[in-house]
């Protein structure tokens, strides 16, 4: 009689792997578009950028007008001497677009807060490459009543 235990173990392993891969954390386009619709035109927010090889790593309070123009970015650490062009700082629109346009083989984690706005985004654009990841923790999104002026 043939021992089926190794075959069962292999089948269970494959089944578990397929089940987990079917539960991808990549959101559907509809979900991402719905999140994009919750974003205010003018706002401030705090972002912690923590992975990949990028000009912006650390925690910053960012002010945005017209959904995609960064008008100021201040480090959370008042003693920081980070000097990065404003164009290097992400807007929420940019972050949502990165999720929406990620290639099918990209590894994407995307969560929202209770209001349906981005809270955590992690994108590994090319899983076999080094330093192409983007990781953002987003907090304290504050709509602003009018378009803020550039300050830096």
- Per-residue pLDDT tens for 34-45? 787 788 899 999
Q: Tell me what percent of the residues of the chain surpass a pLDDT of 70.
A: 78
For residue 19, tell me if it sits in a domain.
no
The answer to whether residue 46 scores a pLDDT higher than 80 is yes
The answer to whether position 127 is within a domain reads yes
Predicted confidence at residue 29, as pLDDT, reads 53
Would residue 13 count as lying in a domain? Answer: no
**Does some domain include residue 152?**
no
Q: Which range of residues forms the domain containing residue 36?
A: 29-143
Q: How far apart are CA 135 and CA 119, in angstroms?
A: 11
Q: What is the count of structural domains for the chain?
A: 1
Query: Does 148 fall in a domain?
Result: no
- Per-residue pLDDT of 91-150, as tens digits, reads 999 999 999 999 999 999 999 988 888 999 999 988 888 778 899 999 999 999 887 777
Q: Does the residue 56 lie in any domain?
A: yes
């Amino acid at each position: 009689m043939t021992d089926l235990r190794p075959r069962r173990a292999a089948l269970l392993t494959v089944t578990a792997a397929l089940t987990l891969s079917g539960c991808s954390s990549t959101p559907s386009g509809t979900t991402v578009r719905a999140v994009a619709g919750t974003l205010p035109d003018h706002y401030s927010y705090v972002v912690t950028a923590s992975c990949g090889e990028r000009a912006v790593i650390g925690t910053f309070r960012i002010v945005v007008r017209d959904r995609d123009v960064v008008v100021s970015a201040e480090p959370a650490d008042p003693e920081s001497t980070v000097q990065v062009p404003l164009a290097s700082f992400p807007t929420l629109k940019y972050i949502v677009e990165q999720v929406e346009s990620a290639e099918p083989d990209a590894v994407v984690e995307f969560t929202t807060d209770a209001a349906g706005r981005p809270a955590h985004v992690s994108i590994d654009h090319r899983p076999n490459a080094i330093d192409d990841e983007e990781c953002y923790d987003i907090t304290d999104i504050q709509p602003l009543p009018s378009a803020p002026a550039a300050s830096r």
